[in-house]
Amino acid sequence: MSERTETHCPYCALQCGMQLTPADGTVSAEPRDFPTNRGGLCQKGWTSPALLRATDRITTPLVRDASGELRPTSWEQAYGRIVDGVRAAQARRGPDAVAVFGGGGLTNEKAYSLGKFARIALGTRLIDYNGRFCMSSAAAAGNRAFGLDRGLPFPLTDLDGADAVLLVGSNLAETMPPSVQHLSGPRSRGGLVVIDPRHTPTAALTDDGAGLHLQALPGTDLVVLLGLLHLAIQREAVDARYLRDRVTGWDGVARAAVQWWPERVERATGVPVERLRRAAEILCAATPSAGGRGAYVLTGRGAEQHAHGTDTVTAAINLSLALGLCGREGSGYGCITGQGNGQGGREHGQKADQLPGYRRIDDPAAREHVAQVWGVDAGSIPGPGVPAVELLRSLGTTSGPSVLLVHGANPAVSAPDLTAVQERLRSLDLLVVCDFVPSETAQLADVVLPTTQWAEESGTMTNLEGRILMRRKAVRPPDGARDELRIWHDLAALLGCAATFATDPAQVLDELARASAGGIADYGGVSWERLQSGEAIHWPCPRPDHPGTPRLFLDSFATADGRARMVPVDAAPVDDDLRPGAPLYLITGRLLQHYQSGAQTRRIGGLTRGAPQAFVQLHPITAQRLGVEEGTDVTVTSARGSATAPARLSRTLRPEVVFMPFHFAGTQAANNLTNPATDPISGMPEFKVCAVDVVAARSIPLTEEAS
């Protein structure tokens, strides 16, 4: 292949449009005009072709031998090891002796096929995916309020026309740089408001009169949102007609909000009263009922990755509804989806409790519909499984699965309380990992199956707007690598499954469309031909002649009575709060140069030169008290483990707070420290805050893995 190929970036859910051009054994990338990126790319997008030439690319199956080493083997022998291990485990303990862990980067076709493979080829109910660590709290809150979860229920380009945008726990300038251009309108009008414990590059966009940064204590976003709603009520900015016509539950929400007067909010969050009042003024003046151009409230991982994340997002939704924003063109609430296919990946069967089309797996009608598409009896489809943290915690225990298949994920770096997770992975009788590089999880595996990667395959993705788009094959994969669709087809046949597993992504999409038809995430009218023609379709799209739905809720919400549901919420403490011996809050986040667990970006020289290792960011006052200087190695310790990295001094965060990026492994892994306590509704772990101690480290050489 040597022609230029129009496709999309392999990383985040912005899914920036790009062009790939193979030449002389290399591939170059350049941006193309697409609504989300408008001709821009970030460092990760520009350097993405380098991943295709990773020097440690896996191109042959690997099996761990008697000496404990991973050795090359044939596909037949690797398949045999898997099939024998699955059968032996299930003969002893039944179908749930085998579990599956998926990923938010898989194409829609792969996400769909993996859920089908787990439930009818393996017969297990135990499947979940790393999107549980990403979008689950926003999804739970969105479903509860609107009857439907789609990251942005409007096109990203709509933000530019608003007077105000409130970003809660989202650092777009580093995680999705091309998206920042869509904030130019609100910034020009002084309307960007950012809630974050750090003065991140995104918070810095509010400088020079462009808006306002509310630098709240970690874990207090919910209180700030309650305070803003209190002030909206006080200012008589609540849209009473909208609430009467389109919402239920307002009275209980109002009673909760009036308890959070500004002075009380300041004591709980550290946000000065005058800044809170100014933020409320900006938001309220922008609303349609006040004659403004419109306002948006957006949440990100900083607000959601908490043991009360669903309630925090609910507070953001309640504020949006009270101001009359949702379901109005030019205003609304949305969630910034993180992973490349975080939206589509959770719609079609990777989540523990869902079938394709966002159908509940315990709904008899949903089971019957999907069973007919799959050609199986509805009774043969297992019931709900368990969320990711609970699943990982159960591995290798007397009552848990002894076999785990991992696809498109690296939980040995990305999961909270890593020491415990790695112990559980090592305790398995059989760990199978599908990957194209030797990730930290692959290095623990008993069988590694080499797969194709983004530019070597075709498939569809669903971006943060619910826009279904085409990822096109641009280069041939290396000999020996196989597409996961073929892998699941082969394994299903070897396991004796009579159901059909297509290997052609176009055929899989047709089947997915039938399986999702009539569901909440309805792809019934989506086809390979429509997408190949360049059409990008927002779901729901129930018919071939349907144009798709860029803006949701304009007429009604997806609830039984068409009204949005407001749910009263109140503040909750951090699960692992400050105490003697742990006097600082640790927060974690991303860097401009890296993505997720870093398994891909840490292999690209152009990125690692800018961010070669982890660091511990401290306020200079905190560093002085600890006797730490810039560049000194420090050890951060929580109730679960420790991590060591150089200190980086900065006045961009509060003195009570230290920050670590989560892209690194080994002794530099931030997730050695993070808390696996989970939200009771979403199952989201509390990645974003825990209590730690920080001390100057002894001279500990970094391992090759961590460097």
Domain boundary among 273, 302, 335: 335
Alpha-carbon span 452 to 644, nearest angstrom: 34
**CATH number for 661:** 2.40.40.20
Establish if 567 belongs to a structural domain.
Answer: no
Please tell me whether residues 92 and 237 are part of one structural domain. no
Establish if 654 belongs to a structural domain.
Answer: yes
Q: Pick the residue with more confidence: 188 or 697?
A: 188
- 2 three-state secondary structure: coil
**CATH number for 238:** 3.40.228.10
Establish if 551 belongs to a structural domain.
Answer: no
**pLDDT tens digits, residue range 556-611?**
999 999 999 999 999 999 999 999 999 999 999 999 999 999 999 999 999 999 99
Strand partners, 538: 467
| Mean pLDDT score, 537-566 | 97
Q: Where does the pLDDT of residue 325 fall: very low under 50, low under 70, confident under 90, or very high at 90 and above?
A: very high
Please tell me whether residues 110 and 203 are part of one structural domain. no
Please tell me whether residues 161 and 106 are part of one structural domain. no
**pLDDT tens digits, residue range 222-271?**
999 999 999 999 999 999 999 999 999 999 999 999 999 999 999 999 99
| Angle of helix 250-257 versus helix 221-234 axis, rounded to 10 | 100
Please tell me whether residues 309 and 196 are part of one structural domain. yes
Alpha-carbon span 292 to 295, nearest angstrom: 8
Please tell me whether residues 145 and 219 are part of one structural domain. yes
Integer angstrom CA distances of residue 392 from 87, 115, 128, 388:
21, 18, 10, 6
Mean pLDDT score across all residues of the chain: 96
Please tell me whether residues 412 and 329 are part of one structural domain. no
Please tell me whether residues 373 and 455 are part of one structural domain. yes
Alpha-carbon span 38 to 352, nearest angstrom: 36
Establish if 577 belongs to a structural domain.
Answer: no
Which range has highest mean pLDDT (338-347, 531-540, 601-610)?
601-610
Q: Where does the pLDDT of residue 2 fall: very low under 50, low under 70, confident under 90, or very high at 90 and above?
A: low
Establish if 383 belongs to a structural domain.
Answer: yes
**pLDDT tens digits, residue range 82-115?**
999 999 999 999 999 999 999 999 999 999 999 9
Contact predicate 276/647, CB 8 Å: no
Share above pLDDT 90 across residues of the chain, in percent, rounded to a whole number: 95
Please tell me whether residues 192 and 306 are part of one structural domain. yes
Say which amino acid occupies 17: G
Establish if 170 belongs to a structural domain.
Answer: yes
Give φ, ψ of 427 to 5 degrees: -80, -10
| DSSP letters spanning 375-438 | TS-GGGS------HHHHHHHTTSTTS-SEEEEES--HHHHSSSHHHHHHHHHT-SEEEEEESS-
Establish if 705 belongs to a structural domain.
Answer: no
Please give the DSSP secondary-structure letter assigned to residue 118: I
| Mean pLDDT score, 426-431 | 98
Any residues with CB less than 8 A from the CB of 622 and at least 6 apart, and which?
Answer: 584, 655, 656, 658, 694
Please tell me whether residues 371 and 471 are part of one structural domain. yes
Any residues with CB less than 8 A from the CB of 337 and at least 6 apart, and which?
Answer: 13, 134, 135, 151, 152, 343, 463, 464
Range of the domain at 216: 136-335
Please tell me whether residues 270 and 309 are part of one structural domain. yes
* Paired tokens of 23: 């030449």
- The answer on pLDDT for 1 being more than 60 is no
Counting the structural domains of the chain, the total is 4
**pLDDT tens digits, residue range 41-70?**
999 999 999 999 999 999 999 999 999 999
